[in-house]
């Protein structure tokens, strides 16, 4: 009986710790239109949760993604995924020189296109548009 209560308490502590970690991580990603790698999220999370490990940050990012609260953006560099808080539908501009990722508006023609209707090919769940180029800091003469 007493052991039962102890176990229940332990589970409760574990659960509230997870909630706290997720709240901190989500807060970091919601602080602006940021696109951070897991390592960058970890660096910021450690300011609030000094003992949090990178593995825990990864696990929480994956959990938040599975709940639709976080989006993973693949930059095309192997092992260099970035994360952002899920928000309005938008596209991403990737600078091929400095590797900055910025939000850009989805062109009206694409946003309004009947891309959900692929007929016999399959059903569409989401749209992910990446635009690659040089940002104004990197473009020659810019
Ligand atoms: Zn650049
Ligand atoms: Zn974005």
Q: Is the pTM of this model over 0.85?
A: no
Is the four-CA dihedral 15, 21, 24, 25 of positive or negative sign?
negative
C-alpha–C-alpha distance, residues 115 and 89, integer Å: 14
* Per-domain residue ranges of the chain: 1-87, 88-142
Q: What is the pLDDT of residues 6-48, one digit of tens each?
A: 888 888 878 888 899 999 999 999 998 899 999 999 999 999 9
Tokens coding 98: 């400095």
CATH architecture of the domain formed by 1-87: Orthogonal Bundle (1.10)
Tokens coding 48: 């609030």
C-alpha–C-alpha distance, residues 55 and 58, integer Å: 5
Centre of ligand 1 to C-alpha 125, Å, is 31
Centre of ligand 2 to C-alpha 109, Å, is 19
Given the candidates 3.30.360.10, 3.40.50.620, 3.30.1490.190, 3.40.50.300, the CATH classification of the domain at 88-142 is: 3.30.1490.190
Q: What is the pLDDT of residues 112-132, one digit of tens each?
A: 777 777 788 888 877 888 888
Centre of ligand 1 to C-alpha 48, Å, is 30
Centre of ligand 1 to C-alpha 107, Å, is 22
């Amino acid at each position: 009986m007493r052991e039962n209560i102890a176990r229940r308490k332990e589970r409760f502590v574990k659960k509230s710790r997870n909630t706290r970690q997720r709240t901190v991580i989500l807060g970091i990603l919601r602080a602006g239109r940021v696109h951070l790698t897991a390592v960058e999220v970890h660096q910021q999370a450690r300011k609030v949760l000094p003992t949090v490990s990178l593995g825990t940050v990864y696990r929480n990012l994956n959990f938040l993604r599975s709940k639709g609260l976080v989006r993973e953006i693949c930059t095309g560099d192997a092992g260099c995924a970035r994360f952002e808080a899920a928000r309005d539908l938008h596209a991403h501009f990737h600078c091929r020189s400095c590797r900055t990722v910025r939000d850009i508006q989805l062109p009206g023609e694409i946003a309004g296109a009947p891309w959900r209707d692929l007929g016999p090919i399959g059903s569409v769940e989401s749209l992910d548009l990446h635009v690659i180029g040089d940002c104004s800091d990197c473009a020659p003469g810019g």
